[in-house]
């Protein structure tokens, strides 16, 4: 019988839970992965603006999970947007932690139309803006803005998966990261 690796994800969004389960299944092939999503407060606005708010949201979710649940790993993903010097974009921060260490990762940027970014500044969430623009419903729990704006060549889950893969490095080589 394979040992169980328990993962707590700071969200009930199936896209985030599936991304975490996928990554841990790749890295821990000798384990059964028990990946559960819970409601964890981000402590930031529903639509974070800027890298600092977005990173803090993911960190706060992981911290909440660590304080309230027993698991082998804790994971959070927080999507945000920012007006960079080269244009508006959306991205995500990911945090992975266990009892010994944590790691922060970040996704690549998806360029956003300026009008959509401006709508975010009024307090709207990107998922709602995308649903309105593309006549979809609850896209944030499926392919997200990434899926819509790339004709599904990339998705919200694939972006989280890449960021989580990169954030696993300190857990694979702790001796290098703890020097």
Residue 132 phi, psi dihedral angles, 5° rounding: -70, -45
Would you say the C-alpha torsion 174, 175, 177, 179 has a positive or negative sign?
positive
The pLDDT of residue 149: 94
User: Rounded mean pLDDT of 129-144?
Assistant: 84
Task: Give yes or no for residue 140 having a pLDDT over 90.
Answer: no
Instruction: Measure the CA–CA gap between 50 and 128, rounded to whole angstroms.
Output: 19
Task: Compute CA distances 156 → 5, 47, 70, 139, 177, whole Å.
Answer: 24, 15, 27, 10, 28
What separation in angstroms does the CA of 20 have from each of 6, 10, 50, 102, 178?
Answer: 11, 11, 24, 15, 24
Residue in the block written with tokens 């244009």? 87
- What are the CB-based long-range contacts (under 8 Å, 24+) for 111-118? 111/87, 111/149, 112/81, 112/87, 112/88, 112/145, 112/149, 113/88, 114/87, 114/88, 116/88, 117/81, 117/83, 117/88
pLDDT in tens, 61-91: 999 999 999 999 999 999 999 999 999 999 9
CA–CA distance, 158 with 155 (Å, rounded to integer): 5
Question: For the chain, what percent of residues have pLDDT higher than 70?
Answer: 99
The model's confidence at residue 1, banded by pLDDT at 50, 70 and 90, is confident
pLDDT at 104 over 90: yes
43 DSSP assignment: S
pLDDT, averaged across the chain: 95
Is residue 147's pLDDT more than 80? yes
pLDDT for 178: 83
């Amino acid at each position: 019988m394979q040992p169980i690796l328990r993962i707590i994800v700071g969200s009930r969004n199936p896209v985030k839970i599936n991304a975490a389960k996928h990554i841990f299944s790749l890295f821990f092939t000798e384990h059964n992965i028990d990946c559960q999503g819970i409601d964890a407060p981000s402590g930031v606005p529903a639509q974070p603006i800027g890298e600092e708010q977005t990173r803090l949201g993911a960190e706060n979710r992981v911290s909440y999970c660590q304080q309230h649940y027993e698991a082998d790993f804790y994971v959070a993903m927080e999507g945000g947007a920012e007006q960079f010097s080269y244009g508006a974009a959306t991205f995500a921060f990911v945090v992975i932690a266990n009892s010994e260490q944590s790691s922060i990762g970040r996704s690549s940027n998806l360029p956003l139309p300026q009008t959509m970014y401006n709508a975010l500044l009024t307090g709207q969430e990107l998922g709602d803006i995308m649903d309105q623009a593309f006549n979809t419903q609850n896209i944030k729990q499926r392919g997200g803005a990434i899926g819509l704006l790339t004709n599904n060549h990339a998705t919200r889950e694939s972006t989280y998966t890449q960021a989580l893969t990169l954030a696993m490095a300190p857990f694979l080589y702790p001796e290098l990261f703890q020097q």
